[in-house]
Amino acid sequence: MNKHTLIEKLKAMAASPSASDPVKQAVKVYLAALAVEQVAVNNLIAVLEDNVVDVDELLLEVEHDFDHLVKHFGVEGAKIFAENARALKAAGAKYCNCMACTVALEILDNKDVLRG
């Protein structure tokens, strides 16, 4: 039985006259928590979609905002960052390969699993 079917059963049960008041209340609280979780997961997915950096954006930052990179990573770190961005573009990659972007892409590939 999937989660959706179980939730429908819980709703029907809570509306039945033989369900006790504490059960009705527990179902109500659970359904409210579930709704909040669904909003949070949809928000997370929207933010993930917004935040995955494509490789051209990465190069733009290298070319036009190098100072910002230096501030963030130091001179050596910024150089490595720039080399990585150029190597990514040359290899035909579409997105940044930092940990956050890599994980974000994996999560987005499976977003329906997270939505449950």
Partner 1 sequence: MDKPETGEKRALIDKLKAMAISPSCCPELQKATLSYLSAVAFEQVAVKSFLASLNEALDLSQQTLIEKVRDMAVTPTCCPVLRHAAKTYLSALTAEKNAAQNLLKELESDISDINHLVAFSHSDRAVQKFGAERAKIFAANADALKASGAKYCNCFACTTAREVLAEKDVLLD
- Cα–Cα distances (Å) from 106 to 44, 93, 113, in that order, read 13, 15, 11
Task: Rank residues 34 and 89 by Cβ distance to partner 1 and give the closer one.
Answer: 34
Task: Rank residues 31 and 66 by Cβ distance to partner 1 and give the closer one.
Answer: 31
Q: Which residues bind partner 1 (CB under 8 A)?
A: 1-3, 6, 9-10, 12-13, 16, 18-20, 22-23, 26-27, 29-30, 32-34, 36-37, 39-41, 43-44, 47-48, 50-51, 98-101, 103-104, 106-107, 109-110, 113-114, 116
Amino acid at 102: T
Task: Rank residues 20 and 64 by Cβ distance to partner 1 and give the closer one.
Answer: 20
Give least dist CB 67 to partner 1, A: 19
The secondary structure of 7-67 as a DSSP string is HHHHHHHHHSTTS-HHHHHHHHHHHHHHHHHHHHHHHHHHHHHHHPPBHHHHHHHHHH-HH
Give least dist CB 85 to partner 1, A: 13
Task: Rank residues 26 and 59 by Cβ distance to partner 1 and give the closer one.
Answer: 26
Helix axes 99-109, 21-51, angle to 10 degrees: 130
Give least dist CB 71 to partner 1, A: 14
